[in-house]
Homo-oligomer: A and B are copies of this chain.
């Protein structure tokens, strides 16, 4: 028959956050059980039916669609193992070349960390045989660099990240290699060659020689990525001025124009207001601008497709400007705490109408896991009320506790929020009809059980080991509601609970059993 094998039917339990109309609304987790089918043609969800809850109704469903068992691929979640399908995570801010430095951010703040750890590591991604960086061939990248890129893509996929917005380095071959590796692994990705040409702020060993050289090199990576994936199915280039201090005005302007010259315009990513010293520096370097955000705005870099990482210390006016431009914020709490940057007022930004997603910010952040970032976002939101800066921002009103990000909200940011930040809210982040199947199958495991009676009436460790038991650190005791199971997942889960990961309908990660 015509439709044969053109669908994959996912059957079982699905958990997601419904899409909100406004960033200030409060999301609530929804669980449905039944079937959802995905076209193999374009990997999009063509329908679902939450009434199909037993084998008989499943068979009727298949018949009603005109499908035989053999005509479709069926992928089931295992209820006994407390498995469920969940939208893939979106990492809106990650520095791929810094992955080998994970956990090594030393004892100082942002600016010294850049010089001590970050720039030397990134510089090592240059091709030694091509110091002037004139070629485009990803193979002219060192084995060590390729290994690091291979590892960061594999690792983020294993943690359920189906889409990532990567900063690469200034090097064209290595940036192209990162794109090629995402393509190979099947991860959805935005790939940005880092632009930095200000000789006063960049190390002499790691800098674009001129703004124009940087622009040209960027164009070469854009061309490579567009050739590799002409429809942008998985990969898209993203214009990436490192941050205002590293760039000349000429470079910032040129990059703004470059992004706007494409139709549709290219994505843009950079950093903003991460650290107080950095903000002082920007004020000093750009005296003609009224604020950090204004520097980017003057260069045409605040667009609907702009991802601004951090935004820890944004003023109310800057938040308004960002909202007006439709630009997005990548909240990176693990990094902000680890680098002593500060406590970002996320709920306030959301309430002001700014779109926010989560970023690992590897390797300012110490973990490649967006689930870990969701935890940290929740933790930080629970203490931001004690920040003097936050209290001032709120007009010194006593907190009513509304700044707290609950589990549902943190997971919304990790999925729908991230999808909106990369301007793909219609395509990924949930299981709506028409969306792309970017998803993960989460396994929580079975409840803690004690069947064999010891002198104390307790199963011994050995007894428990022969049962399937909990997976990773999630201990279910059997009396949890499904919402509480999700809470336990958010607070105790890790990559052991990520059984399968799909991107664009393709299975791209399976946990070894």
Selected contact of A343 from candidates B386, B450, B475, CB within 8 Å: B386
Contacts of A382 in B (CB 8 A): 337-340
Assembled-state Cα–Cα distance A150/B458 (Å):
7
Encode contact with B along A131-152: 1 for CB under 8 Å, 0 otherwise. 0000000110101101111110
Contacts of A151 in B (CB 8 A): 448, 475
Encode contact with B along A199-227: 1 for CB under 8 Å, 0 otherwise. 00000000000000000000000000000
Q: Is A456 an interface residue (CB 8 A)?
A: yes
Contacts of A456 in B (CB 8 A): 138-139, 146, 150, 177, 180-181, 184
Q: Is A66 an interface residue (CB 8 A)?
A: no
Of the four ranges (under 10, 10 to 19, 20 to 34, 35 or more), the interface on chain A belongs to 35 or more
Q: Is A383 an interface residue (CB 8 A)?
A: yes
Assembled-state Cα–Cα distance A404/B181 (Å):
38
Instruction: Contacts A151-B475, A340-B404, A401-B109 given; indicate if A457 touches B491 (C-beta within 8 A).
Output: no
A108 closest partner in B (C-beta): B401
**Chain B nearest CB, measured from A111 CB (Å):** 13
A463 closest partner in B (C-beta): B150
Selected contact of A457 from candidates B143, B391, B404, CB within 8 Å: B143
Encode contact with B along A383-422: 1 for CB under 8 Å, 0 otherwise. 1011111010000000001001010000000000000000
Assembled-state Cα–Cα distance A458/B150 (Å):
7
Selected contact of A102 from candidates B139, B383, B475, CB within 8 Å: B475
Q: Is A484 an interface residue (CB 8 A)?
A: yes
Contacts of A139 in B (CB 8 A): 456-457
**Copies of chain A in the complex:** 2
A458 touches B181 (CB 8 A): yes
A343 touches B487 (CB 8 A): no
Q: Is A100 an interface residue (CB 8 A)?
A: yes
**Interface residues of A: mostly helix, strand, loop or mixed?**
helix
Q: Is A103 an interface residue (CB 8 A)?
A: yes
Encode contact with B along A109-142: 1 for CB under 8 Å, 0 otherwise. 1000000000000000000000000000011010
Contacts of A185 in B (CB 8 A): 461
Q: Is A271 an interface residue (CB 8 A)?
A: no
Q: Is A107 an interface residue (CB 8 A)?
A: yes
Instruction: Contacts A104-B488, A108-B401, A406-B107 given; indicate if A379 touches B338 (C-beta within 8 A).
Output: yes
Contacts of A23 in B (CB 8 A): none
Q: Is A71 an interface residue (CB 8 A)?
A: no
Q: Is A366 an interface residue (CB 8 A)?
A: yes
B512 touches A495 (CB 8 A): no
Contacts of A375 in B (CB 8 A): 366
Assembled-state Cα–Cα distance A104/B487 (Å):
6
Which residues of chain A have a CB within 8 Å of any CB of chain B?
99-100, 102-104, 107-109, 138-139, 141, 143-144, 146-151, 154-155, 177, 180-181, 184-185, 334, 336-340, 342-343, 366-369, 375-376, 378-380, 382-383, 385-389, 391, 401, 404, 406, 448-450, 454, 456-459, 461, 464-465, 473, 475, 477, 479-480, 484, 487-492, 494-495, 512
Q: List 16 additional contacts besides A146-B450, A181-B456; criterion CB under 8 Å.
A: A100-B477, A102-B475, A102-B491, A102-B492, A103-B487, A103-B489, A107-B401, A109-B401, A138-B456, A147-B458, A154-B464, A337-B382, A342-B386, A366-B492, A380-B383, A388-B391
Which 6 A-B pairs give the minimum distances between C-beta atoms?
Answer: A103-B491, A388-B388, A366-B491, A337-B379, A103-B488, A340-B382
